[in-house]
Structure 1
Amino acid sequence: MRLFAAVLPPASAVGELARAVDRLRNLPGADSLRWTGRDGWHFTLAFMGEVDDALLPELHERLGRAAHRTAAFPLRLHRGGRFGRRALWAGAAGGLEEMRLLAERADAAARRAGVGMEEHRRYHPHLTIARSRDDADLRPYVEELDTFEGTPWEVTEVALVRSNLPVSGVRGEQPRYETVGSWPLERAS
C-alpha cells in the first residue's frame, strides 16, 4: 500500500484555510489549476511510497516510538508559497523546529522498519492546495495568501495515511486518503 506519515490539521484549521482558498478560486486563471480536496489536506512528514504489508507491524511500532519521543507542539497555517510554477501551498508557523524533528523521526522510523525511502531532503512544512496543469503564474495566489494567518492549535499525534490514487480516469478525480494508524505525541510539560 502507498503510505506517508503526516500531521493532519483539525477541522477548524481546515475551515479557515478553505475560506481563504475559496477567495483564491475566484482569481483569474484559477480554473486552470487542479485544486486539492479539503478532506485530504495534510502536512506530509515522510513519504514512503509502496510499503509491503509484511513491514507494517515494525513500521507501526517504530512510528509509535517516534511519536512518544516527541512533545506536542503548537502550529498554525500561515501564509503560502509555491514550488516554481507547479505547486501552490499553505505554509505553517509555530513549532517548526518540532515539526522538522518529527519529520526526521518519521523518516528514520520508516527506514529502520525496512521501507525503501528516497534520498533524505531538508524538511519544508507545506500543505499543497493546488497544482498547475500548464506552468501557470502562481504569484498572484501567493500574494493573496500573504496575509493569511490561521488560529494556532496543538499537534498531538502523528498519522500514518494510505493514499489511494485515482483509478477511474475521470478528469479532476482526487486521491482518497485513509488514516491507517495514529500515535499520540508526548504531552508537553
Structure 2
Amino acid sequence: MRLFVAVVPPPPALSQLQSAVAGLHSLPDSGRLRWADPATWHFTLAFLGEVDEAVLPDLTERLGRAAHRHPAHELRLAGGGRFGDRVLWAGADGDVATLSALARSTGAAARRAGVPVDESRPFHAHLTLARAGGGVALRPFAEALSDFRGSPWTAERLELVRSRLPGSGVPGERPRYETVRSWELGG
C-alpha cells in the first residue's frame, strides 16, 4: 500500500486558507493548474511510498513512539511559495522546529521498520495547493499568498495515511486519502 505520514490542520484553519486560495483563481493561468482538493490538504512529514503490509505492525508501533516523544505544538498556515514552477504551496509558522523534529523522527521510525525514506531534501513545512505543467509561472500565485496569515491552531495528532491512486483513467481524477492509524502527540 502507498503511505505517507502527515499532520493535518483542523477544518477552521483549512477554511481560512481555502478563502485565501479562492482569490487565486482569478489570476491568469489559474485554470491551467491542477489544484489540490482542500479536503486532502496536509503537511507531509515522510513519504513512504509502497509499503508491504507485513511491515505495518512494526511501522505503526515505531510511529506511535515517535508521536509520543513530541509535544502538541502551535502552528499557523502562513504565506505561500513555490518549488520552481512545478508546485505552489502554503507555508507554516509558529513552532515549526517541533514539526521538523517530528518529521525527522517519523523518517527514522520508518527506516528502523525497514521502509526506505528519501532524505535527499531537508524537510520544509509546506502544504501543496497546486501543481503546474509547463509554461505556467507560479510566482504571481505565491506572491498573492505572501501576506496570508491564518489563525493559530494546535497540531495534536500524527497520521499514517494511505494514498489510493486514481485507476479509472478519468481525466482530472485525484488520489483518495484514508487515515490508516493516528496517534496523539505527546501521549
- Which deviates further from its counterpart, 89-98 or 20-29? 20-29
Measured in 1, the distance between the counterparts of 2:120 and 2:183 equals: 23
Measured in 1, the distance between the counterparts of 2:73 and 2:127 equals: 18
Measured in 1, the distance between the counterparts of 2:71 and 2:18 equals: 28
Name the structure 1 match of 2:142.
Answer: 142
Name the structure 1 match of 2:177.
Answer: 177
- Which deviates further from its counterpart, 163-172 or 116-125? 116-125
Structure 1 position 151, deviation (Å)? 0.5
Name the structure 2 match of 1:43.
Answer: 43
SS at match of 1:90: strand
Measured in 2, the distance between the counterparts of 1:135 and 1:109 equals: 39
| Residue identity in the other structure for 1:172 | G
Structure 1 position 120, deviation (Å)? 4.6
| Residue identity in the other structure for 1:102 | L
| TM-score, reference length from structure 2 | 0.97
- Which deviates further from its counterpart, 126-135 or 73-82? 126-135
Name the structure 2 match of 1:12.
Answer: 12
Q: Deviations over 1:153-172 (max 9, x none)?
A: 00011000001111112111
Structure 1 position 177, deviation (Å)? 0.6
Structure 1 position 64, deviation (Å)? 0.4
Measured in 2, the distance between the counterparts of 1:6 and 1:71 equals: 15
SS at match of 2:64: helix
Measured in 2, the distance between the counterparts of 1:120 and 1:152 equals: 30
Measured in 2, the distance between the counterparts of 1:64 and 1:146 equals: 35
Measured in 2, the distance between the counterparts of 1:169 and 1:6 equals: 27
The answer to whether 1:87 aligns with 2:87 is yes
Q: Deviations over 1:5-26 (max 9, x none)?
A: 0000100011011111111011
* Percentage of matched positions with identical amino acids: 56
Structure 1 position 117, deviation (Å)? 2.0
The answer to whether 1:155 aligns with 2:155 is yes
Structure 1 unaligned regions, length at least 5: none
| Residue identity in the other structure for 2:24 | L
| Residue identity in the other structure for 2:109 | A
Q: Deviations over 1:65-90 (max 9, x none)?
A: 00000011100100000000110000
Contact 1:86 1:135 in 2 (8 A): no
Measured in 2, the distance between the counterparts of 1:134 and 1:169 equals: 22
SS at match of 1:183: strand
Q: Deviations over 1:68-122 (max 9, x none)?
A: 0001110010000000011000000001100100000000000001112223531
Measured in 2, the distance between the counterparts of 1:146 and 1:121 equals: 23
Measured in 2, the distance between the counterparts of 1:17 and 1:66 equals: 28
| TM-score, reference length from structure 1 | 0.96
| Residue identity in the other structure for 1:177 | Y
- Which deviates further from its counterpart, 100-109 or 178-187? 178-187
Measured in 2, the distance between the counterparts of 1:118 and 1:9 equals: 24
Measured in 1, the distance between the counterparts of 2:145 and 2:39 equals: 20
